[in-house]
Amino acid sequence: MEVLKSQNVEQKEKPEPGAVSVTIPASPFMQKLGYGTGVNVYLMKRSPRGLSRSPWAVKKINPKCSRTQQSLYQQRLSDEAKILKGLQHPNIVGYRAFTEANDGSMCLAMEYGGEKSLSDLIEERNAARLGPFPAATIFKVALSMARGLKYLHNDKKLLHGDIKSSNVVVKGDFEAVKICDVGVSLPLDENMTVSDPQGSYIGTEPWKPKEALQDEGVITDKADIFAFGLTLWEMMTLAVPHLNLGTGTDDEDESFDEDDFDEEAYYAALGTRPALNMEELDPSYQRMIELFSICTSEEPQKRPSAAHIVAALEASLPPQ
């Protein structure tokens, strides 16, 4: 493992024998790629002494957070690093390094291959008024995500816990699709159920299934499947589930208007299957519409497993 150290900050731990010491530049000297709850993500270019090395995506705690929040997010980042280090799959973002500096700040370095989040691509496509992603592209994303979820659920007995378009990264023209942000994942038992009484499903509200919105709801691997289905919906609508941003209007300004937001209707819709505008979807979308529909069943037992989704999608691939 490569040992990192923040600029002008000494490491608490001594480098491992033969390890390469890499200085993480201060945040202003790195390109900001994005942000999440309590964290910022930066592009770290690595080409010492003229050597070409693949860049890293570095996740750091947002210094503007309160001290209490920083403590919470540092723990989450530490948990994410431990989980990510144990994962190795072509559809899961790879671990590179993790460190804590003397000032308490943490940095998680991950693989970076020129990716954008699927959420960014959805926003760009919406702004350009290009309509739904092609059915073949949605199929490719669905298969890649399902393979990653099958690995998490079946091989690692982990629930991702926050599947959505912003936690999927895409390289180039969908050459590679990978799931990221495993920091709120939860262990699954042999019945694919989150049985740890200390485990709490975090998720993100618009993507939460019905069982995650109930106090006594039993959380299983099917919670990820519901959110997976809504991610396919995002690609067909270019909208956020239950908010309907940028759809159903011909106005040039499609920004969210807080005054028009029906809060009661929004909360009533959470955990349900949002509607599709079928006029925008030709027959080529039929398989993806069916997959979205079955994955967003309100009853978890009616949703397919990630393994079943992979098997179904791979069966329709052309022979190699």
- Residue 253 is a catalytic residue: no
Task: Determine how many CB atoms are found less than 10 A away from the CB of residue 145.
Answer: 26
CA distance 11 to 25: 14
CA angle, corner 147, sides to 179 and 229, nearest 5? 70
The gap from C-alpha 47 to its chain's centroid, in whole angstroms, comes to: 28
Query: Tell me, what DSSP letter sits at residue 314?
Result: H
What element of type H or E holds 67? helix 67-85
Closest CA to 24 of 54, 53, 50, 45: 45
Q: Pick the catalytic residue: 103, 120, 162, 250?
A: 162
DSSP 8-state symbol, 191: T
Cβ distance 155 to 304 under 8 Å?
no
- Beta strands per DSSP E along the chain: 3-6, 21-24, 31-36, 39-46, 53-61, 95-100, 106-111, 115-117, 158-159, 168-171, 176-179, 186-187
Residues catalogued as catalytic: 162
